[in-house]
Amino acid sequence: MKDLIRKILFFILYYLGIGFVLKKNNTKNKLIPVLLFHRVSNDNDKYWEPIKPEYFEKIIKFLSKKYSFISISDLLEKKVTDFNNKCIITFDDGYKDFILEAFPIIKKYKIPITFFITSKSITENKIIWTSELNYVIKNTDKISIIIEGKEYSLRTENDKLQTAKDLLFILKNKPNHIRIELLNKIKSELNYIMPKDISMLTWEDIKQMSNVIDIQSHSVSHPMMTNLKKQELEYELKVSKNETEKNINKKISYFSYPIGDYNKSVIDETKKYYKCAFVVGDKMLDAKKISDLDYLYKLPRINITDKNIYELFFRINGFHLLLKKIM
């Protein structure tokens, strides 16, 4: 019911023309929506819901009538000087469903996109640790688990969903080595088995697609970057760049912070290896600031989770951010 009300509300706002007023103002101020996607799949996963392929195509078709798609390199290398009605599409992680579901749509509409991949996940065909956590909780037969002296229920699906959220919050806030140890404990106690229904792209997949899409770095193991020691931080930035360059035989220049996690120390280290880096939020990219070195390492992207096309249009034009400021 709540989703239906939202859909009706944004449908009305859209046809009242409010979204177009926002878009016109954004265009005037050289603000560009950079969209972030992760998985495109028909999987019914309540823990981390993918975007359905038919909805992804609907998004692309809808936006293609209102924007011209450009690549990150078009923007940063000044191949494009007219920023009117421009939009950028990016993906993170490197799940196999990309080549099966998203890539055919991308080729159909001839969209330039940038794909930030986690190198170790590709090399080892190992899903990212946040997905591991969700998967083991979703599939366990245990009725509870005790973590740091607190018992978390696993009796019902709602219990499992809440426990997954609670444990993810705990893990995100641990130093990296403790996060790894604690996740391994959870996996061991809940009898984790590698999933067969979800996997990562291979380097061969990525190499083949690199002639069509721009491949860039998303770290080695998808850690919380601010929880890393200096040596660990250097490893995640340097090795992911080197491994990806070696496997696709192309230069890697851009980085996206896993889970959008960064601070000044992370930025300072990132500058040693990359020309720019991306964060996550509701802000649009300000093309007027791309000559600002500091801004280049916190370029904003908008994570796409909206279930209806009209609310998505409002989100990528700053409506939700404006509401937060007002309220």
- The total number of structural domains that make up the chain: 2
* Cβ(115)–Cβ(91) below 8 Å: yes
Kindly state whether residues 170 and 134 are assigned to the same domain.
yes
Residue 289 domain-assigned (yes or no): yes
5 contacts: CB under 8 Å, gap ≥ 6: none
* Separation between Cα atoms, residue 122 and residue 138, nearest integer Å: 23
In this prediction, residue 84 carries a pLDDT of 87
Kindly state whether residues 176 and 222 are assigned to the same domain.
no
In this prediction, residue 163 carries a pLDDT of 97
Kindly state whether residues 317 and 282 are assigned to the same domain.
yes
To the nearest whole number, what is the mean pLDDT of the chain?
94
> pLDDT, tens digit, for every residue of 87-114?
999 999 999 999 999 999 999 999 999 9
> Which tokens is 208 given?
């083949």
Residue 195 domain-assigned (yes or no): no
Q: What is the mean pLDDT of residues 148-155?
A: 96
Q: What is the mean pLDDT of residues 277-297?
A: 93
In this prediction, residue 81 carries a pLDDT of 75
Worst-scoring range by mean pLDDT, 30-39, 69-78, 203-212? Answer: 69-78
Which of 189, 209, 233 terminates a domain? The answer is: 189
In this prediction, residue 171 carries a pLDDT of 97
148 contacts: CB under 8 Å, gap ≥ 6: 170
In this prediction, residue 257 carries a pLDDT of 98
Does the pLDDT at position 36 exceed 80?
Answer: yes
pLDDT confidence bin for 276, thresholds 50/70/90: very high
CATH for 15: 3.20.20.370
Q: What is the mean pLDDT of residues 288-302?
A: 94
In this prediction, residue 311 carries a pLDDT of 94
In this prediction, residue 159 carries a pLDDT of 97
Which of 139, 170, 189 terminates a domain? The answer is: 189
Which of 157, 189, 221 terminates a domain? The answer is: 189
Does the pLDDT at position 327 exceed 70?
Answer: no
**Strand partners for 32:** 285
Q: What is the mean pLDDT of residues 297-310?
A: 94
Establish how many alpha carbons lie within 13 A of residue 116's alpha carbon, considering only the half-sphere containing its beta carbon. 30
Kindly state whether residues 298 and 234 are assigned to the same domain.
yes
Give the rounded percent of residues in the chain with a pLDDT score beyond 90.
85
In this prediction, residue 82 carries a pLDDT of 81
Domain containing 104 equals 2-126+200-326
Residue 175 domain-assigned (yes or no): yes
* Cβ(115)–Cβ(215) below 8 Å: yes
Cα–Cα nearest to 36, from 74, 89, 85 = 89
* Separation between Cα atoms, residue 254 and residue 246, nearest integer Å: 16
Does the pLDDT at position 79 exceed 80?
Answer: no
Residue 137 domain-assigned (yes or no): yes
* Separation between Cα atoms, residue 167 and residue 177, nearest integer Å: 16
Establish how many alpha carbons lie within 13 A of residue 22's alpha carbon, considering only the half-sphere containing its beta carbon. 21
Q: What is the mean pLDDT of residues 112-129?
A: 96
> Which tokens is 151 given?
């018992």
**Strand partners for 150:** 147
* Cβ(272)–Cβ(264) below 8 Å: no
Residue 102 DSSP one-character state: I
Helices (H) and strands (E) in the chain, counts: 15, 12
Kindly state whether residues 234 and 254 are assigned to the same domain.
yes
Residue 146 domain-assigned (yes or no): yes
Does the pLDDT at position 322 exceed 90?
Answer: no
Does the pLDDT at position 5 exceed 70?
Answer: yes
Kindly state whether residues 232 and 304 are assigned to the same domain.
yes
Kindly state whether residues 168 and 233 are assigned to the same domain.
no
Kindly state whether residues 118 and 151 are assigned to the same domain.
no
Q: Is the pTM of this model over 0.85?
A: yes
Residue 194 domain-assigned (yes or no): no
Kindly state whether residues 134 and 122 are assigned to the same domain.
no
Kindly state whether residues 256 and 136 are assigned to the same domain.
no
Kindly state whether residues 103 and 240 are assigned to the same domain.
yes
* Helix (H) or strand (E) run with residue 244 in it: helix 230-248
Q: What is the mean pLDDT of residues 128-156?
A: 96
Q: What is the mean pLDDT of residues 180-185?
A: 96
186 contacts: CB under 8 Å, gap ≥ 6: 133, 136, 145, 147, 167, 192
In this prediction, residue 219 carries a pLDDT of 97
In this prediction, residue 222 carries a pLDDT of 97
* Cβ(117)–Cβ(111) below 8 Å: no
Residue 207 domain-assigned (yes or no): yes
pLDDT confidence bin for 33, thresholds 50/70/90: very high
Amino acid identity, position 177: H
* Cβ(260)–Cβ(279) below 8 Å: yes
Residue 303 domain-assigned (yes or no): yes
* Cβ(96)–Cβ(40) below 8 Å: no
Kindly state whether residues 38 and 110 are assigned to the same domain.
yes
